[in-house]
Every structure is written in C-alpha cells, then in structure tokens.
C-alpha cells in the first residue's frame, strides 16, 4: 500500500506538471530554493512522525506545482490534517505532511508551490521461527492462521517442507526457508542436485509463497559432523541455480551461525571470530558482500545468564531498565542489555576482518518459558519480558551502542514448544504457544503498547500481591534500591518524607519497602519489577499499616507518564485507514480521467 501511495503521489505530481507547462520551471525552481527554509514544517513533520510511528522515519520530499498534487494534498489535509495510515503492524506506516505556498504566481492559484513530505516508518522487522521438531503440532494451515492472527509477517522455517510452503501461499507472509546441514554434501557436490531441488521445492510455489531468504546450513560450527567446508560451495550452487531462473535478486542466500563462531565476545569491542573457522568464514563473508546478503546469527542472552548468573544479571539479560550498565573499557560504549552487547561483538568481529558494511540479522533469539529445576531463569514471566522488550527495542530502531539507529531484523525463537528436541528441559520450552495453540504468554508484536507488559496476559503469578524489601538485604543495597526507585524509577516518594503517613517507622527497610512496592505496582507487577538487585521480595500480605497505604494491584496510579513515548490513540485511525485504503487505489483513475 505504501508503495502504491508513492506511485500515485509521484504520478499526480508529474501530471500536475504536465498540466502547468508554462509555470513549471520557475515554480519548481522556487520550490527547490524555498524548501531549505521550511524549517518549521520540517520540525513539525519530525515531531508528528515520532508521535505517529514512535520510531525513525525516512522522509521523501516532493516539490512541485500542479493542480492534481494541490488537490490531492488538500484532500488529505481536509480529511484529517497531517495524515497517517497504519498497517497491521507498526513496521510499515506511512503518512503525508504538506506545506504549500500559495500565490507565487498570484494570478493563478493553481500553480501554487506544493511541498509534500511523505514519510515511511522504517523499523527493524520482527519475525518468528516456526520449528517443527515435535509430534503434536497443528497442521500447517492451522499454524498459518495462528501466525496471521498475530499479524506476524516474517517467518523462518528450517527446511523446505512442501506442505508448509504451500500453506503460506497468498498470505503476504515473507518466508525464510532452510537447507538443512544434512543436505550440504549433495548441494555442494553437484549443481544438478540444487537445480532439482529448486525445481521441486521452490519454483512451483513461488511467488505465491513469498520466499525471501534461503539459509544454506544452520550453525555449522555446532554440527556434530564437520560440514563447515561444504557451506560456501553449497551457497554458490544455490546462487547459480537461482540465477539460472532469474531469482538471484529476489531471494537472498545466507547461512546462520551461533555466537560460538566467536573466540571472544566480551567486551564487545574485542569481538573476534575463532581463527579455526577462517577457512570457510572468509569466503563466506566475501560471498555475502558480493550478494548484499546479511550475516545471520542466533543470539541467546539466556544461555549467557544461565551459565554464569553471578556475572550476568537477569535484568541485563532481560533488557530491564534497572540493570546495571556495562561499559566497554576500550570504546567507552555503555551497554544496558546483553542483546546489544552480543550484536556488537559480532559487529566488531566483522570490522576486524574489514567487513563492517555487512548487515547483521538475528535469525533466532528468545527465552524459554520453562526449564529444569536449576534453570531458574526459565519462566513465562521472564520469557514475556525478554520478548516484549526485544520487540520494543527492534521496532523502536534504537540500534546498538556501536551502531545507534541501525535497524536490525530479528526472528523470535520459537512459535511452539517442541517436545522432540533433545537436551535439558528448557530446550523443549521456547514457545510462545502450546501445541494446542493456546498462548503461553501474550506478546505485543507492535512493540508500541503500554509498558505494562502483563496487559492482556493470563500470567498466573502476575499482578498479585505486593513487593517489599527483603529482611536480610544489606543497608547499602537497600539504599541503592531506594535511590533508584525514587529517582530514575519515577516513584512518588512523598509519603515517606518526614511528617508524611509512611515516614514512621523511620528505617531504611520500611522506606525501601514502600518505594519498591510503588515501583512494582506501576511496572506490571511481575518478578522483574520486584528485583532491585535481589533486595526486593514479593509477598501476598498487604504491608499497609495505620494511615500508610501501600499501592495494590489494579490501583495503578498514573504517575509514570514519562516512561513511554506517546502512542497515538488507535481508536480514531481505523476508519480513516480504511478510507485511505479505498481512496488510494482510486487516485490513478482520477489522474487518468484528468489526462483524458
Ligand atoms: C573440518 O573440516 C575442515 C576441512 O575439511 C578442516 O579444515 C577443519 O579443521 C575441520 N574441523 C574440525 C573441527 O575438525
Ligand atoms: C576455536 O574453534 C576450535 C574448533 O572448534 C575450538 O577447538 C577452539 O576451542 C575454539 N577457540 C576458542 C578460543 O573458542
Ligand atoms: C565471572 O567472571 C570472572 C572474571 O571475569 C571469572 O573468573 C569467573 O569464572 C566468572 N564466573 C562464571 C560463573 O563464569
Ligand atoms: C526509543 O528509543 C529512544 C532512544 O533512541 C528512547 O529515548 C525511547 O525511550 C525509546 N522508546 C521506547 C518506547 O522504548
Ligand atoms: C484469561 O483467562 C480467562 C479465564 O481463565 C479467559 O476468559 C480470558 O479470555 C483469558 N485472557 C486471555 C487474554 O487469554
Ligand atoms: C535472604 O533470605 C531468604 C529467605 O528468607 C533466602 O532465600 C535468601 O537467600 C537470603 N538472601 C541472602 C542474600 O542471604
Ligand atoms: C501525567 O500526565 C498528566 C496529564 O497528562 C499530568 O497532569 C501529570 O502531571 C503527569 N504526571 C507526571 C508524573 O508527569
């Protein structure tokens, strides 16, 4: 739709020029000259874009004269001023802002100078991995319905199962398919094997099924059989095969890697590839550059936390705003979460080999909802927190400290819990959904919802009880937590000031309890919000006493306006969106009528 709108607008602009041949050059010239001075409207456009998209915008500027452009823009303005129409996900919204200077040729209003700003929100894309290592999953067509209900537009599968590929036909979902490691040998050996595979598994279903990526091999460095040397030859053969049928520009070829491909990932600036892999990595990176393909990596802050809970805090792994920042001593870059640190370690490793222009794509990341007894981090709450914050991070396009503002695409692992995966308990429990399609926790795919992450979820232990200071926490830790809650945490701490109801008993523990609880209630009442470096604990007993009333679940006070950027009220836009969906395809017709 966005593209259509562009074409329509451009077209109307051109036709407008065509209708005003005499004034064309002078008006266009004036417009080009005045545009740099339209500071005010640029500022308002930027502000509006932030409100509308909550993210970064790329602006496109249309300058010109002409009745159709004038008419089109006026119609848009008439119907809603600065206009936006959103698509089902926040990743692809589009709007117009206009500014016109009339009467440049004052005898003819029609040749007024029109300036149109068309902006498109560009944000990282969030997809989902549809792993099928289970014997109890729904049929592919049911799964496709589920994916569409979630408005997910990007899906990764691990093979080229024909039933699955067929099920995605005509859904608008972009599919990443995979060549399993077991197929690398035949694919690397003979071009004809690849051609046959393309002929049988891809071409009959393309483009009805929008296959956009083929991953050749997955995490080969983790493979029990040494297939690393086969990856690049297989990638080249797939490329040759696609080229023969003219699809090499439409379908991107890459291969996924685990973070184990690095010999060092901390600090991020010291990120370096393990030199034992250079024999296949160098040619692969060259292949990726030649074909403008991304470097694909699977990132799991969960394992970093689980393997070393004493060195990696849960807050840091979960993108929690309360986490202690980690500063890279070489660059001075400040890391507030582990995901960014891992992405940057890859970036610095690529840079060290002089491949810094390669785009990094995260083809798997996520958090398990259940684990073995010792896997204490594997809970639905933590999984929801990680994925919610991840989506927000990606959609907001904040980039990483080394590449601020860089959009990064991620695929969340995984759609379902998969009961046939070997290994520890958590391995089988990475899903957002149970095999019966009921959700394990809710996830806001737009990344723009309220910060209260438990909204709409049925998390059993969320939104219950209170949060107080743990009785055995040290004074210093309590003081830190208290300072944090009343400062950056945005809690209203007036009740614990002298002569206020919660001042007595005047102890650190009592004051901290009050502040911790307020923070907890305002931030979704999940266990992350009651962490405070381990000094907070949840309780089911109301800690209120005398006239000192502790905030309780549901009594959320709106004292934390500041934590999120304003999100436009969606209630007003849907019918407008529908209107524009109808209007835009009509534009070319109107324009055609004008010419004739
Ligand atoms: C894997 O195979 C390649 C080439 O066949 C070899 O260079 C490499 O050392 C092998 N790696 C391991 C871990 O055996
Ligand atoms: C590099 O990879 C080799 C082969 O897999 C492995 O034996 C070695 O431990 C790795 N080195 C580091 C520093 O991770
Ligand atoms: C934590 O980090 C220290 C120093 O970097 C290291 O010696 C120790 O082994 C790490 N602990 C764990 C559990 O990884
Ligand atoms: C988006 O990122 C900017 C920094 O780039 C940050 O200030 C803002 O709070 C973020 N918004 C959300 C909703 O996370
Ligand atoms: C939460 O659970 C209740 C009943 O247990 C159900 O009616 C409701 O639909 C559930 N809400 C969500 C968002 O799943
Ligand atoms: C504090 O006490 C709780 C039990 O009341 C215990 O689980 C926890 O490990 C203790 N923490 C410290 C730091 O001693
Ligand atoms: C929250 O917003 C309301 C109105 O929008 C405003 O009156 C109030 O001062 C704000 N509170 C904070 C803490 O910013």
Q: What is the CATH number of the domain that holds 368?
A: 3.20.20.80
pLDDT for the residue 418:
96
Q: Are 110 and 140 part of one and the same domain?
A: no
Query: For 219-226, which contacts have Cβ atoms below 8 Å and span 24 or more sequence positions?
Result: 219/256, 219/257, 219/258, 219/260, 219/298, 220/181, 220/184, 220/255, 220/257, 220/280, 221/257, 221/258, 221/260, 221/261, 221/274, 221/277, 222/258, 222/260, 223/181, 225/181
pLDDT for the residue 533:
75
Residue 345 has pLDDT above 50, yes or no: yes
Tell me the average pLDDT across 41-69: 48
Q: Give the position, in ligand 5's atom list, of the atom nearest the Cα of 456.
A: 13
Q: Are 157 and 298 part of one and the same domain?
A: yes
Ligand number, closest to the Cα atom of 188: 1
What 3-state DSSP class applies to 363? strand
Residue 545 CB less than 6 A away from ligand 1: no
Before 501, cis peptide (omega within 30)?
no
Q: Give the position, in ligand 1's atom list, of the atom nearest the Cα of 226.
A: 1
280 alpha carbon to ligand 1 midpoint, in Å?
10
Ligand 1 atom 9 nearest Cα:
276
What 3-state DSSP class applies to 324? coil
106 is in which domain, residue-wise? 2-122+573-595
Q: Are 545 and 588 part of one and the same domain?
A: no
Q: Are 99 and 191 part of one and the same domain?
A: no
570 alpha carbon to ligand 4 midpoint, in Å?
20
Q: At 464, is the pLDDT very low, low, confident or very high (cuts 50, 70, 90)?
A: low
What positions carry a catalytic annotation? 219, 364
Q: Are 31 and 82 part of one and the same domain?
A: yes
Ligand 6 atom 12 nearest Cα:
472
146 alpha carbon to ligand 5 midpoint, in Å?
17
pLDDT for the residue 252:
97
pLDDT, tens digit, 9 for 90 and up, residues 413-431: 999 999 999 999 999 999 9
454 alpha carbon to ligand 4 midpoint, in Å?
20
Residue 460 has pLDDT above 70, yes or no: no
Residue 43 has pLDDT above 80, yes or no: no
Tell me the average pLDDT across 129-140: 96
Tell me the average pLDDT across 426-452: 83
> Cβ < 6 Å from ligand 3: which residues?
308, 310-311
Q: Are 154 and 249 part of one and the same domain?
A: yes
Q: Are 163 and 110 part of one and the same domain?
A: no
Residue 474 has pLDDT above 90, yes or no: no
CA 509 remoteness from chain centre: 39
> Taking the chain, what is the end-to-end CA distance rounded to the nearest angstrom?
26
Q: Are 291 and 414 part of one and the same domain?
A: yes
% of the chain exceeding 70 in pLDDT: 69
Residue 546 lies in a domain: yes
Q: Are 352 and 240 part of one and the same domain?
A: yes
What 3-state DSSP class applies to 66? coil
Ligand 7 atom 6 nearest Cα:
561
Residue 566 lies in a domain: no
Residue 455 lies in a domain: no
pLDDT for the residue 588:
52
Question: Any residues with CB less than 8 A from the CB of 396 and at least 6 apart, and which?
Answer: 54, 55, 123, 447
> Cβ < 6 Å from ligand 5: which residues?
442, 456, 458
What 3-state DSSP class applies to 129? strand
Please state the domain count of the chain: 3
133 vs 456, which has greater pLDDT? 133
Per this entry, what is the length of the chain?
596
Q: Any idea which of 127-141, 320-334, 477-491 has the lowest mean pLDDT?
A: 477-491
Is residue 446 left, alpha or beta, with left meaning phi > 0 and alpha meaning psi from -120 to 50? Answer: alpha
pLDDT, tens digit, 9 for 90 and up, residues 142-162: 999 999 988 899 999 999 999
Q: Are 237 and 369 part of one and the same domain?
A: yes
Q: Are 395 and 476 part of one and the same domain?
A: no
Using an 8 Å Cβ cutoff, are 210 and 202 in contact? Answer: no
Q: Give the position, in ligand 5's atom list, of the atom nearest the Cα of 457.
A: 13
Residue 26 has pLDDT above 50, yes or no: no
Tell me the average pLDDT across 309-329: 90
Tell me the average pLDDT across 186-207: 96
472 alpha carbon to ligand 6 midpoint, in Å?
6
Ligand 2 atom 6 nearest Cα:
276
Tell me the average pLDDT across 486-512: 89
Tell me the average pLDDT across 181-185: 97
Residue 456 lies in a domain: no
Q: Give the position, in ligand 1's atom list, of the atom nearest the Cα of 276.
A: 9
Q: At 104, is the pLDDT very low, low, confident or very high (cuts 50, 70, 90)?
A: very low
% of the chain exceeding 90 in pLDDT: 51
Tell me the average pLDDT across 208-213: 96
Tell me the average pLDDT across 326-336: 92
pLDDT, tens digit, 9 for 90 and up, residues 216-244: 999 999 999 999 999 999 999 999 999 99
559 alpha carbon to ligand 7 midpoint, in Å?
7
SS in 3 state form for 510-570? Answer: HHHHHHHHHHHHHCCCCHHHHCHHHCEEEECCCCCECCECCCCCCCCCCCCHHHCCCCCCH
pLDDT for the residue 412:
97
Q: Are 410 and 502 part of one and the same domain?
A: no
pLDDT for the residue 179:
97
574 vs 192, which has greater pLDDT? 192
Distances in Å between the Cα of 298 and the Cα atoms of 69, 221, 313, 360 are: 47, 12, 21, 10
pLDDT for the residue 9:
53
pLDDT, tens digit, 9 for 90 and up, residues 513-537: 999 999 888 776 776 778 787 788 8
Residue 496 lies in a domain: yes
Q: Any idea which of 75-89, 103-117, 161-175, 219-233 has the lowest mean pLDDT?
A: 75-89
The mean pLDDT of the chain is 77
Distance, CA of 294 to CA of 300 (rounded, Å):
19
Residue 492 has pLDDT above 50, yes or no: yes
pLDDT for the residue 448:
66
Before 414, cis peptide (omega within 30)?
yes
Residue 90 has pLDDT above 60, yes or no: no
Residue 320 lies in a domain: yes
What 3-state DSSP class applies to 435? coil
Q: Give the position, in ligand 7's atom list, of the atom nearest the Cα of 562.
A: 14
Ligand number, closest to the Cα atom of 477: 6
Residue 75 lies in a domain: yes
Q: End of a domain among 403, 428, 453?
A: 428
Ligand 5 atom 7 nearest Cα:
458
Residue with tokens 């109107």: 590
Question: Which element (helix H / strand E) includes 282?
Answer: helix 278-290
């Amino acid at each position: 739709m966005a593209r259509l709108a562009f074409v329509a607008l451009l077209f109307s602009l051109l036709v407008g020029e065509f209708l005003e041949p005499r004034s064309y050059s002078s008006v266009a010239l004036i417009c080009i000259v005045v545009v740099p001075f339209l500071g005010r409207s640029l500022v308002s456009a930027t502000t509006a874009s932030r409100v509308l998209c909550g993210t970064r915008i790329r602006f496109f500027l249309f300058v010109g004269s002409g009745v159709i452009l004038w008419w089109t823009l006026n119609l848009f303005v008439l119907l809603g001023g600065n206009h936006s129409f959103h698509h089902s996900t926040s990743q692809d919204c589009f709007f117009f802002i206009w500014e016109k200077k009339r009467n440049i040729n004052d005898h003819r209003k029609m040749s007024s100078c029109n300036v149109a700003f068309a902006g498109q929100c560009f944000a990282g894309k969030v997809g989902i991995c549809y792993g099928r290592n289970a014997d109890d999953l729904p049929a592919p067509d049911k799964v496709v319905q589920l994916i569409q209900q979630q408005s997910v537009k990007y899906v990764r599968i691990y093979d080229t199962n024909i039933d699955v590929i067929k099920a995605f036909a005509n859904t608008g979902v972009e599919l990443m398919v995979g060549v399993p490691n077991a197929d690398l040998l035949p694919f690397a050996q003979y071009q004809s094997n690849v051609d046959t595979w393309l002929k049988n598994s891809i071409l009959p279903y393309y483009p009805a099924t929008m296959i956009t990526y083929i991953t050749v091999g997955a995490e080969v460095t983790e493979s029990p059989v040494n297939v690393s040397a086969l990856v690049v030859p297989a990638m080249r053969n797939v490329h040759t095969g696609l080229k023969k049928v003219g699809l090499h520009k439409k379908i991107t070829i890459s291969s996924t890697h685990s973070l184990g491909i690095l010999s060092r990932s901390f600090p991020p600036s010291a990120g370096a590839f393990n030199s034992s892999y250079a024999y296949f990595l160098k040619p692969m990176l060259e292949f990726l550059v030649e074909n403008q393909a991304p470097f694909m990596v699977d990132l799991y802050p969960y394992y970093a936390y689980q393997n070393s809970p004493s060195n990696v805090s849960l807050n840091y792994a979960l993108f929690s705003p309360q986490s202690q920042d980690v500063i890279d001593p070489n660059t001075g870059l400040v890391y507030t979460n582990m995901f960014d640190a891992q992405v940057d370690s890859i970036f610095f490793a690529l840079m060290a080999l002089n491949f810094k222009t390669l785009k990094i794509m995260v083809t798997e990341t996520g958090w398990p909802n259940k684990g073995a007894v010792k896997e204490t981090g594997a809970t639905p709450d933590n999984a929801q927190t990680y994925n919610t914050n991840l989506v927000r991070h990606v959609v907001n396009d904040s980039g990483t400290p080394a590449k601020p503002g860089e959009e990064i695409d991620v695929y969340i692992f995984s759609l379902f819990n998969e009961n046939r995966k070997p290994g520890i308990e958590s391995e089988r429990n990475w899903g957002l959904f149970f095999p019966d399609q009921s959700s394990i926790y809710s996830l806001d795919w737009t990344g723009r919802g309220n910060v209260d992450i438990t909204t709409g979820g049925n998390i059993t232990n969320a939104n219950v009880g209170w949060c107080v200071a743990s009785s055995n926490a040290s004074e210093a830790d309590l003081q830190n937590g208290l300072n944090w809650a009343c400062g950056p945490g945005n809690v209203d701490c007036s009740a614990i000031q002298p002569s206020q109801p919660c001042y007595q008993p005047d102890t650190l523990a009592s004051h901290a309890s009050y502040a911790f609880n307020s923070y907890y209630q305002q931030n979704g009442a999940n266990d992350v919000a009651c962490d405070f470096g381990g000094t907070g604990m949840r309780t089911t007993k109301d800690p209120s006493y005398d006239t000192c009333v502790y905030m309780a679940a549901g009594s959320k006070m709106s004292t934390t306006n500041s934590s999120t950027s304003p999100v436009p009220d969606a209630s007003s836009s849907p019918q407008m969106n529908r209107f524009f969906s109808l209007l835009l395809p009509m534009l070319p017709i109107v324009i055609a009528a004008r010419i004739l």
